[in-house]
Structure 1
Amino acid sequence: MYKDPKDSFYWYQKSAENGNKLAQFYLGKCYENGNGTEKDDFKAFECYDITAKNGNKFAQFKLGYFYYNGIGTQIDKEKSIVWYEKSAMQKCSNAQFYLGILYRNEKNDLKNAFYLAKKAAENGNKVAQFNLGYYYEKGEGIQKDINKAFKWYEKSAMQGYSGAQSSLGKLYKIEKNDLKKAFYWIEKAAKNGCRVAQLHLAYLYENGEGTQKDDEKATEWFETSAVQKCSNAQYVLGVIYRKEKNDLKKAFYWIDKAAKNGNKIAQTKFRVFL
């Protein structure tokens, strides 16, 4: 690999012109990301299209993604499915994951969504592992199984996926009443930027669950979550500023934010608090 992206682009282009299909794929990535050349979604699409038709599973995934999102081409959900399926058949975990999401959201086909999430999860995709845990927890596309939900949330959490860390912590609290483990995983997720975990961590500090009660840290985490547009955190923070700090200006600011972000309690009780 060349240190200068322009050199890489030059040689990928030369190699692609000589019929090297792998170089054609990497040329597409250069166009997609603007590495060594100007970003050009249309040229990226063309490169992926050529490589996908020659059987490259990663290009097939990219083509499916481009069709689904209308990148460098018109949105075409049916073509997106075709290319995701081709890639998924070659065990591309990203294609399996996205195809599963498509079956769930576009076709409401929970059985196929579960099947594909399982395939992607078994191939190591951390987001698919999280989704699989969710399906087992909620009983979507499969019989509810909390133990398997724990298993897959933990696999994803161990790979650093904050959504799984948050859900794992929640399960430890609700299903096993293990507040120390709940705190451990929720804190990890919060520090990894998950706004829902930041909200739950604030509650754990506020109630002294799994850790010492600390109202100052609770407020800090409510605010961290609120800044990330978690409407529940925005509402609670507004109440704290109104009732505990008697700061009406900040109370108004945060409850107004919560109401505008769709928080029903903030919308209905706005006048009561202010």
Structure 2
Amino acid sequence: NEQKAFELYQKAADLENITAIFNLIECYYEGIGTNIDKQKVFELYQKAANLGNSTAQYSLAWMYENGSGYKNGDIAFELTKKLAEEEYACGIYNLGYCYEVGIGTNVNEDKAFEFYQKAVDLGNINGINNLGWCYYEGIGTDINTLKCFELFQKAADLGNSYGMSSLGYCFKEGIGTNINNQKAFELYKKAADLENLIAIKNLVWCYENGIGTNVDKKKVFELYQKAAHLGSSTAQYNLAKMYESGSDVKKDMDQAIYWYQKSAEQGYKYAQKKLKQLLKE
């Protein structure tokens, strides 16, 4: 009885029970016993964060960093910095990312590398993957493709989908290893099965060009569908294009407009332009 579960979670959350707050977040995020409500998700993360929960503080920082309608780099940085000062590994990793790309602070590649390394020392798997990219691109350190490959391999072996996708890229491009398209394809597929959007994009490329597998336009369509439902604005746009043109899928203008709309709502300019053209016709 999802409705009853929701009501009980709500009651316990009102009493500031952290477990119930997180269960209620899941209800509002997935539409379990209630309607999907991203604003409520945000408010509940705020509530749990104010109660001192580090996971909620990290999630809140992520929403300020990336969330539609909540974007505020300065707040994201301050929340992340506080978590890092408390030796919270995910916070340390995210602080490295803030310094790498300049979220709420100036870009500082040396600090990015330093915090990624610290996160890795504390066992943070995403830190392992990002540290690998530092060695690949020379961010805060010298370029070292062998070290890069080793770190991606380590992250992949620990089940990290970003590590799998990054390792696939190494096999595709011959970074720290020999080119092996079959292995690249297998790793992209494994990461895509874990709903990694970067891997899904790379897997589309494999199916479009017959890299490590046969050309399969049906799989391309299915992968665009998957990524579109996961919220990728570019996949939503490409899916709309397939529906509009009727290439490798039955032409459906209602579906085309629906997915152009979804992409446009996320600020994807090509979708916004295309939507204006279609609605004028």
TM-score bracket relative to the smaller structure: 0.5 to 0.7
Aligned partner of 2:232 in structure 1 is: 230
Give 2:215's aligned amino acid: K
Query: Which runs of no fewer than 5 residues in structure 2 stay unpaired?
Result: 1-15, 25-43, 63-74
Aligned partner of 2:93 in structure 1 is: 97
Q: 2:257 matched to 1:252? A: yes
Aligned partner of 2:128 in structure 1 is: 129
**Structure 1 residues 141, 214: CA separation in 2 closer, same or farther (over 3 Å shift)?**
same
Task: Decide whether the 8 Å contact of 2:48 with 2:56 is kept in 1.
Answer: no
What is the rounded CA distance, in whole Å, between the counterparts of 1:213 and 1:124 in structure 2?
Answer: 39
Q: Sequence identity of aligned pairs in percent?
A: 30
1:187-224 per-residue CA deviation (whole Å, 9 max, x = no partner) reads 11110011232222122122221112222122111110
Larger radius of gyration: 1
Aligned partner of 2:19 in structure 1 is: 33
What is the rounded CA distance, in whole Å, between the counterparts of 1:147 and 1:99 in structure 2?
Answer: 25
Instruction: Give matches, 1:160-179, under 5 Å.
Output: 160-175=159-174, 177-179=179-181
Aligned partner of 2:203 in structure 1 is: 201
**Structure 1 residues 262, 149: CA separation in 2 closer, same or farther (over 3 Å shift)?**
farther
Aligned partner of 2:84 in structure 1 is: 84
What is the rounded CA distance, in whole Å, between the counterparts of 1:272 and 1:63 in structure 2?
Answer: 42
Query: Which runs of no fewer than 5 residues in structure 1 stay unpaired?
Result: 1-29, 49-60, 70-74
Give 1:100's aligned amino acid: G
1:66-104 per-residue CA deviation (whole Å, 9 max, x = no partner) reads 9979xxxxx79669746633x44xxx6445424434544
Question: TM-score with structure 1 length normalisation?
Answer: 0.65
Task: Decide whether the 8 Å contact of 2:84 with 2:92 is kept in 1.
Answer: yes
What is the rounded CA distance, in whole Å, between the counterparts of 1:165 and 1:231 in structure 2?
Answer: 23
Instruction: Report the number of matched residues.
Output: 220
**Structure 1 residues 81, 216: CA separation in 2 closer, same or farther (over 3 Å shift)?**
closer
Q: 2:244 matched to 1:242? A: yes
Task: Decide whether the 8 Å contact of 2:76 with 2:104 is kept in 1.
Answer: no
Instruction: Give matches, 1:52-63, under 5 Å.
Output: none
What is the rounded CA distance, in whole Å, between the counterparts of 1:225 and 1:68 in structure 2?
Answer: 24
1:31-57 per-residue CA deviation (whole Å, 9 max, x = no partner) reads 53349xx99748843xx8xxxxxxxxx
Shift, 1:227, TM fit: 0.9
Task: Decide whether the 8 Å contact of 2:58 with 2:90 is kept in 1.
Answer: no
Question: TM-score with structure 2 length normalisation?
Answer: 0.64
- Between stretches 181-190 and 159-168, larger displacement belongs to 159-168
What is the rounded CA distance, in whole Å, between the counterparts of 1:136 and 1:237 in structure 2?
Answer: 35
Give 1:257's aligned amino acid: K
Shift, 1:230, TM fit: 0.9
Give 2:132's aligned amino acid: G
Task: Decide whether the 8 Å contact of 2:225 with 2:236 is kept in 1.
Answer: yes
What is the rounded CA distance, in whole Å, between the counterparts of 1:164 and 1:269 in structure 2?
Answer: 35
Give 1:183's aligned amino acid: F
What is the rounded CA distance, in whole Å, between the counterparts of 1:147 and 1:216 in structure 2?
Answer: 36
- Between stretches 175-184 and 222-231, larger displacement belongs to 175-184
Shift, 1:175, TM fit: 3.8
**Structure 1 residues 81, 223: CA separation in 2 closer, same or farther (over 3 Å shift)?**
closer
Secondary structure of the residue aligned to 1:213 is coil
Secondary structure of the residue aligned to 2:116 is helix
